[in-house]
Structure 1
């Protein structure tokens, strides 16, 4: 069974840039994205997998990019090369709310 890493972050940069930064950090850690959810321009969740021994470096790269993490990535997985499932939830401080647009009905 895979272990799980959950990180929550407040991000003050523009959301497109933040999403790219998160994706680049996951790739740099030797991981990949398994799923994502976008909640308008207020929040996003990325489900990913990285080698467990890269979790701390991954979290550090997010902090260096300006993400404010709720807690550091620490655990007994630091020496393990097994895959670690992760979830990064980002709250965009510049989010304005709902991005839905009214569309006319089809006739």
Structure 2
């Protein structure tokens, strides 16, 4: 089965938005597999969710001002209880400067 790939944008503070996504996926019977944070501009969240819960996920995100591109890629949904892997690319719209992280020098 193909991975369901979602893309969204929001003006919500990134930590709050990310926590909301985590909590919503868990509430819908899924779990978070991995997260990649690209500074304070974008997060990519990989998760597993029952196939029948993807529409509920999108509805919950949109209710909290996380705007998701039209849902595509669900394919055959004959078994809504079957686990499906998904990704959410969450882009944050803000005027904050890029995050800078100190990288410690390693003696060499």
* TM-score after normalising by structure 1: 0.85
Stretches of structure 1 lacking an aligned partner (at least 5 in a row): none
Structure 1 segment 18-29 matched on structure 2, within 5 A: 18-29=17-28
Q: CA RMSD in A?
A: 2.2
1:103 is displaced (CA, Å) by: 5.9
Query: Please, which runs of 5 or more residues in structure 2 have no aligned partner?
Result: none
Residue pair 1:6, 1:88 contacting (<8 A) in 2 also: yes
Listed as ranges, the matches of 1:6-85 within 5 Å are 6-72=5-71, 75=74, 76-77=76-77, 79-85=79-85
Kindly tell me: are residues 73 and 21 of structure 1, through their superposed partners in 2, closer, same or farther at Cα, counting changes over 3 Å? farther
CA distance, structure 1, for counterparts of residue 77 and residue 17 of structure 2: 26
Count of residue correspondences: 106
For the residues of structure 1 that align with 2:78 and 2:57, how far apart are their CA atoms? 12
What is the CA distance between 1:100 and its match in structure 2? 1.7
Give the match for residue 93 of structure 1: 93
Shift of 1:80: 2.5
Structure 2 distance, partners of 1:48, 1:101, is: 27
**Partners of 1:54 and 1:66 in 2: CA distance:** 19
Deviation (angstroms), 1:98 = 2.6
After the TM superposition, which parts of structure 1 deviate over 2 Å for at least 4 consecutive aligned residues? 72-76, 95-98, 101-107
TM-score (norm 2): 0.85
Residues 46-98 of structure 1, C-alpha deviations (whole Å, 9 max, x = no match): 00000001111111111111111111367432642110100000000016343
8 Å Cα contact 2:3-2:73 kept in structure 1: no
